Homo-oligomer: A and B are copies of this chain.
Amino acid sequence: MKEITGGITAAKGFKAASCEAGIKYKDRTDMALIYSTVPCVCAGTFTSNVVKAACVQWDKKIVESGNAMQAVVINSGIANACTGKEGFDACEAVAKAVEKSLGVDHTSVGVASTGVIGMQLPVDKITLGVSKMSESLDESIEAGTAASKAIMTTDTVNKEIAVTFDIDGKEITLGGMSKGSGMIHPNMCTMLAFLSTDLNIEKSLLQEAVKDVVADTFNMITVDGDTSTNDTLLCMANGIAGNDCISIKDNNYETFKEALSYVCTYLAKRMASDGEGATKLFEAKVINAKSKADARTLSRAIVGSNLSKAAIYGCDANFGRFLCAMGYSGAIFDQNDVELFFESVNGKIEVFHMGTPLDFDEDKALQIMKADAVTVLVNMHEGNESATAWGCDLTYDYVKINADYRS
């Protein structure tokens, strides 16, 4: 596997476009279109929030129906969530605009929105955007990058990646882009993410691979504990690479899953470290837990705790906050079995050992905490299962970004 330059347009047969539709933002692009020259099998994972945005309901239907997907329209600025029947009608109108412009049946067109909840989409602006973008679709790296920028909201950087790998002598490409900065919390998928590959694979296996990989990547990040109404991950595979169709869980399937995991881990960590107001990546590694579920629960509780996040911002090696978060996570364990370390590029230090606080070197701890990425490593000594979760620190800027009238 090799990382290459590019993103959503890296794989053969995928094109992208973006435009300034004027939905909410001024002087920036706010719409993107992803298009495959041939129909794709498509897998998806969606928010677990009971209040699902209209676009989530629309895409879920396509993914679950087994329809091909050939295009996806994305807008930023307005989320099309909590918008009733009018919101659902808007999805249909957007998909039909693609049908009109590109001749793709509207039941093969995904839609995704991100932004303010509770406002209706300006359908006229969006369908106009679709028609403009249909004329500027392009397979260049630049077109992919532009698309990854158009879907940003409070993100400070765009997020894209591409890799190539070999399946039976055929070069396969997998690329992707994502956005997400606030309202990010475990439980699929806490963001918008779009993946495209020229791999030839059966739909059911694509779905299984995506589901497995998301559980250990996108579902392990949290920014603020708020699971969005709009979280969507779509993975389209158009088969143009020409490999024999992957239809069993053989080595080829594992090779793809590895590439998928690499891409999703990269995008997930980029999202965590670009959390609203964040100054650092905050990682929690829990090892030797009784079960995988416990390891996930514990690591997510650590990076999800406001007090832990504030301590990470403050470079404060107050390990009690992390143990406290583990304690209320729901996982059952004995504090007398626990070892806790802080780790970064600046070193590693143990601060809690088998139920007892250690008299550690505070200056050394401070240096470790001052790094741009800080890991809390916890050895549970209760089993063999491990998990890693990612988040970010809680800062003044998080509050500022989310308290409009005061800022």
Contact = CB atoms under 8 A, between A and B. Distances in A.
Interface in A302-333: 305-307, 310-311, 313-316, 318-321, 323-329, 331-333
A19 to B, nearest CB: 25
Interface stretch (A63-71, A257-265, A349-357): A349-357
A395 B394 CA distance: 11
B84 A336 contact: yes
B185 A328 contact: yes
B403 A310 contact: yes
Given A51-B323, A183-B324, A307-B402, 14 more contacts: A49-B324, A50-B333, A51-B326, A51-B327, A82-B355, A229-B320, A229-B327, A310-B399, A314-B404, A315-B406, A366-B405, A394-B399, A395-B399, A396-B399
Contacts of A228: 324
Which 7 A-B pairs give the minimum distances between C-beta atoms? A117-B320, A51-B327, A314-B403, A310-B402, A84-B356, A227-B328, A49-B327
Interface residues of A, number: 71
B318 A118 contact: yes
A57 B137 CA distance: 66
Interface of A: 48-52, 79, 81-86, 116-120, 182-183, 185, 187, 224-229, 305-307, 310-311, 313-316, 318-321, 323-329, 331-333, 335-336, 351-352, 354-357, 366, 394-396, 398-400, 402-407
